[in-house]
Amino acid sequence: MLVTLKDVLDMAEKEKYAIGAFNTPNLECIMAVIHSAEHFNVPVVISHAELHEPVMQLSVIGPIMVQMAKRAKVPVCVHLDHGETLAYLKQALDLGFTSIMYDGSMLPYEENLHNTREAILLARKTGASVEAELGTLGRSEAGGEERAEDKADVYTDPELAKKFVEESGIDALAVSFGTVHGLYTTQPNLDFVRIETIRSLVHMPLVMHGGSGVSPEDYTTAIRKGIRKINYYTYMSQQGVLAVEKLLCERKVTFFHDIAKTAVRAMEEDVKNAMSVFYRKIRV
């Protein structure tokens, strides 16, 4: 069933777990994620990021995401991730998305706040939820190399987060505390005290971006400190690739659908592994 981000975050807050939010730039990804959510009977978020437009146009995949969410046996939020322009956010809302994220994290505070407020005005017309980001992860959603500035000076400032939440009216806040987008080259060093401090000031569901590759122990600690949504894509996608590579090495493949089915099964297995950690009930 199709629901909003606020709906699933309320469920996560009540049970003290984190909602999995999985980027789904193609049908195979959507199938892997929704099948996994139905297997565990848990709510889930399927997302499309603006930077994936060259890979798959929103106008094509968006209606498919919405339709499959409506047909699902579990609550599914259809979310626009890392929207960089108001026009793109509006396009998603017009297609029936129930949540949008405006990413103005690289902009000056006042400009980020102004644009976030404009995004909220758009979303309220359809009843959609709004996520925003304060602090930066240093890499784009597609990954890339870490830069020298990818350090604590770009982590989310707790006091500024409090001000931003109060002045914007958002439903969820993405915070920077040591994760990065893409593949990790070293073990991440996460600032859990920062999460705890921000949560105590904003009293709002917090979002972890760059969620792939974090250890189960760190996931659990982050959830206990207040993370209620974890964005996950890179490692899921990688498992699909590895499974297809193995298939092609083992035998000659004639039909593309055999490749697609292999990728779906591998991604589904990885998503299930992630969900088994994200949705574990935590005693606070």
Domain ranges of the chain: 2-278
Q: Percentages helix, strand, coil for the chain, rounded to the nearest 5? A: 50, 15, 35
For the chain, 284 residues long, give each residue's pLDDT as a single digit of tens: 999 999 999 999 999 999 999 999 999 999 999 999 999 999 999 999 999 999 999 999 999 999 999 999 999 999 999 999 999 999 999 999 999 999 999 999 999 999 999 999 999 999 999 999 998 765 444 444 444 344 455 799 999 999 999 999 999 999 999 887 656 555 667 999 999 999 999 999 999 998 777 899 999 999 999 999 999 999 999 999 999 999 999 999 999 999 999 999 999 999 999 999 999 864 44
Q: Exposed e or buried b for every residue in 237-275, given b needs 16+ CB within 10 A?
A: bbbbeebbeebeeeeeeeeeeebbebbbbbbbebbeebb
Q: Are 4 and 128 in contact (CB under 8 A)?
A: yes
Record: fold of 2-278: TIM Barrel (3.20.20)
* Side chain identity, residue 212: S
Check residue 284 and give its pLDDT: 42
Pairing of strands 19-23, 227-232: parallel
- The verdict on whether 10 is a catalytic residue reads no
Q: Check residue 156 and report its DSSP letter.
A: P
Q: Which of 7, 10, 81, 103 is catalytic?
A: 81
- The burial of 214, by beta-carbon neighbours within 10 Å (0-12 exposed, 13-18 middle, 19 or more buried), is given as buried
Residues 6+ apart with CB under 8 A from 273: none
Supply 202's token pair.
Answer: 């904003």
Distances in Å between the Cα of 64 and the Cα atoms of 10, 24, 38, 75 are 25, 11, 18, 16
Prediction pTM value: 0.91
* Side chain identity, residue 186: T
Q: Exposed e or buried b for every residue in 92-131, given b needs 16+ CB within 10 A?
A: bbebbbbbbbbbbbeeeeeebbebbbebbebbeeeebbbb
* C-alpha span between 40 and 21 (Å, rounded): 15
Check residue 144 and give its pLDDT: 42
Supply 271's token pair.
Answer: 């998503």
* Side chain identity, residue 209: H
Supply 278's token pair.
Answer: 């994200």
C-alpha 77: how far from its chain's center?
11
Check residue 148 and give its pLDDT: 37
Check residue 213 and give its pLDDT: 76
Longest dimension (CA), the chain: 59
Check residue 282 and give its pLDDT: 45
Closest CA to 21 of 145, 174, 169: 174
Check residue 146 and give its pLDDT: 43
Beta-strand runs (E) in 93-225: 99-102, 129-134, 172-175, 206-208
